[in-house]
Amino acid sequence: MNSTVTTRIILADAQPVYREGIRSLLADHQNNYQIEEAGNSEELRPALLSFQPDILILDYDPAYFDADELLQTLSVIPECKVILISSQKKKVDIFRLLDGNVYCVLTKECKKKDIHQAVCCAIRGEKFFCTFALDLLLADRKKTTTATCCPPEGLSARETEVIRQIVTGKSNKEIAGAMHLSQHTIHTHRRNIMRKLQLHSAVELCNYALETGIVKPES
């Protein structure tokens, strides 16, 4: 990212100490950030509308942030990319929020490098799900997925592997390197996958991968 470009970020967390911690982590990075904070829904809505952030880093707690109000506000500023921080004890509405511009999902067990990677991915318009988040989401999906769930149909082995790579948050360039293919080929695979599955976003693709078992816990 060009160092002259400033990325506007809102930190939304009910605990000031956590907001300060994320702010300190971002200050260590080479990118330029302009940061605002919000401690609850009442503070977040006007901040989103007036500050028009590029990224919202949200530690979702239903006691302080209303999911319905948040989704409604985010629909007005669809260019804002959300980095969602979830925890084992607070999975309520997480899947609903995945439809609200969520590009990255982290947990509080994540390390500093995960936060930096999530921010960089969001800036580039890419997805990032940390290992803890994938396990968390997959565990919840398993409760609603039966053993007789039909396997993916119409997908080649290579397309299935591309899906696995996408779910880990890799860019087209990184996937191309890992699979020893050109970026153009990966782009074509992504387009064909979305067409075959009739999906419209990487979040929908991630949910599909979790539901059908393409992504396993050991991934």
pLDDT per residue rounded down to tens, the chain (219 residues): 445 678 999 999 999 999 999 999 888 777 889 999 999 988 998 999 999 999 999 988 888 888 788 888 888 888 899 999 877 555 556 666 776 688 888 888 888 888 998 999 899 888 888 877 776 666 655 554 444 344 456 788 899 999 989 888 788 889 999 999 999 999 999 999 988 888 877 777 887 887 787 876 444
Q: Identify the CA nearest to 150 among candidates 96, 197, 190, 191.
A: 197
Chain region(s) in the chain for CATH 1.10.10.10? 146-212
CATH of the domain spanning 6-141: 3.40.50.2300
Q: Identify the CA nearest to 118 among candidates 193, 45, 44, 110.
A: 110
CATH class (in words) of the domain with range 146-212: mainly alpha
| Token digits of residue 134 | 């994938």
Chain region(s) in the chain for CATH 3.40.50.2300? 6-141
Is residue 71 within 8 A of residue 80, CB to CB? The reply is: no
